[in-house]
Amino acid sequence: MAVHPVEAESAAPASPLLSLEELRAAFHAVGEERYHHRHPFHLLMHEGKLSRGQLQAWALNRYYYQSIIPIKDSIILSRGPDPVFRRAWRKRVVDHDGDATSEGGIKRWIKLAEATGLDAAQVRASRGTLPATRFAVNEYLNIVRNRSLLEAVASSLTELFSAKLITLRVEKLRQFYPWLSNGLDYFEARLYQAPEDAMFAVNYVFDNAKTRVEQELAVQALRDKCDILWAQLDALYFAYVQPGWPPPGAFRMEDQ
Amino acid sequence: MAVHPVEAESAAPASPLLSLEELRAAFHAVGEERYHHRHPFHLLMHEGKLSRGQLQAWALNRYYYQSIIPIKDSIILSRGPDPVFRRAWRKRVVDHDGDATSEGGIKRWIKLAEATGLDAAQVRASRGTLPATRFAVNEYLNIVRNRSLLEAVASSLTELFSAKLITLRVEKLRQFYPWLSNGLDYFEARLYQAPEDAMFAVNYVFDNAKTRVEQELAVQALRDKCDILWAQLDALYFAYVQPGWPPPGAFRMEDQ
């Protein structure tokens, strides 16, 4: 696994503002370096090497992340002073919680978890979720609560990278785990939702970062968000792949 | 490694209050099950099997935990309406931040980190700390901010178990890593500080939990705190023992 130690870059206050293209390039450089498409757990998944129990552990733990997404977007809504911004951002809450015409992403994720063989009630209660999953995901809430609105918006920008990963994942899940095929609606929906959301957020950051320092803070927020995703897969790998030690109280594969 | 899956117990509202001895026994049962004295990283440490680089990773990451302890105790101070309570709790902030007569626990931890060969400035800046360490430790701040004062106090009760672990650790560190011997002041001080603090906190919880449900919430807070400590060692083990994959940007042993 290639990983690169990188210090948070900080620009001198007088540094010139990045252009839209430079800012976009800075975001993509973060993704190349630390988005979780490179994580060994995903590599195993895409090589067809995960067991059903390991996919259950993934679906169960990732549910906790899915379940807080509309909460973190509601926090961002609550901090947005502008009705136009809130109307645009509101779409995200609808995408995940659903409305009269759509069941929403959380319900779709439960269908995926059920396709792995998990019980929906266990998933909804996040029973057996790794503490490390909760800690990482709760940090996402800390970020959108405690940093500037600009950084909160920027932390969503892993959506710049998700469509490519999801396209690959759906292909590999169908190929190697065909018994999961009727649980993939979540990903189909995200394929068109995420790029729209990312475009809005990139433009928002560019329009609202008035100094280079603010632009760098936005890039750092994306870096921190990538770490949140990465840490979730580290915890899954440690508990369920190698050495395979779930902490006290967590989901155990042999229980299934 | 023996771990036991345990559901959070919940008592019916009408359940009788636990006596002081029963409450203390409930706390100790949590410790037996999930305090980090059983964690494989500590077992390796106590068998003399950690390298200097692994001990550096431990000292660096654990510093982040040490550095937020007086912050979490200041949050608890800020929530305590009673001057008598605050006078008692204030001791903890002094123990870690120091005063005219004592350098305090944070400085002592830096001396330990220096004894491993780390640079004090890197440690103070928490440069290279694992994101998973930050997430787990920040959850401790979430708990003392967001739960009841009773639960915030109860989350400190890992101090019930620490003296025994520290006694063993100091003996094993002197035996297997004699080059660390002049960095152990932190532990010597904790040996008498922690039991005093734990006695106060147990009595506070017993005196202030008015229902069995409140007592169970206090026990759950201790369980969650144990998970915070455990997750820090899981992350260290994953990054620096097996499989040995530090995430992007984290401290790397070969850099030393």
Residues A62-103 have pLDDT tens digits of: 999 999 999 999 999 999 999 999 999 999 999 999 999 999
For residue B8, which of B228, B219, B210, B227 has the smallest C-alpha distance?
Answer: B219
The nearest CA of chain A is from the CA of B9 a distance in Å of: 12
Strand partners, A102: A99
Question: Chain B residue closest to A5 (CA)?
Answer: B249
> How would you class B235 by CB atoms within 10 Å of its CB: exposed for 0-12, middle for 13-18, buried for 19 or more?
buried
The token duo for A216 is 């760098």
pLDDT at B15: 87
* ipTM of this predicted structure: 0.91
Question: Chain B residue closest to A224 (CA)?
Answer: B131
Q: Does B139 touch chain A (CB under 8 A)?
A: yes
Taking an 8 Å cut-off on Cβ atoms, the answer to whether A231 and B142 are in contact is: no
Q: Which of B225, B237, B238, B241 to mutate to test the interface with A (most CBs of A within 10 A)?
A: B238
Strand partners, B11: none
pLDDT in tens, chain B (256 residues): 333 333 445 555 578 999 999 999 999 999 999 999 999 999 999 999 999 999 999 999 999 999 999 999 999 999 999 999 999 999 999 999 999 999 999 999 999 999 999 999 999 999 999 999 999 999 999 999 999 999 999 999 999 999 999 999 999 999 999 999 999 999 999 999 999 999 999 999 999 999 999 999 999 999 999 999 999 999 999 999 999 999 999 999 964 4
pLDDT at B12: 59
d(CA A100, CA A94): 10
Q: Output the pTM of the full model.
A: 0.93
d(CA B7, CA A127): 8
Q: Which residues of B touch A4 (CB under 8 A)?
A: 248-249
Signed CA dihedral, B117, B180, B241, B141: sign only: negative
Across the range A44-71, mean pLDDT stands at 98
Question: Chain A residue closest to B248 (CA)?
Answer: A3
Residue A10 pLDDT > 80, yes or no? no
Tokens 């993939």 label which residue? A184
pLDDT tens, position by position, A134-192: 999 999 999 999 999 999 999 999 999 999 999 999 999 999 999 999 999 999 999 99
Q: Which residues of A touch B235 (CB under 8 A)?
A: 132, 231, 234-235, 238
The nearest CA of chain B is from the CA of A116 a distance in Å of: 21
pLDDT at A256: 44
Task: Pinpoint the alpha helices (H) of B98-130.
Answer: 105-115, 120-124
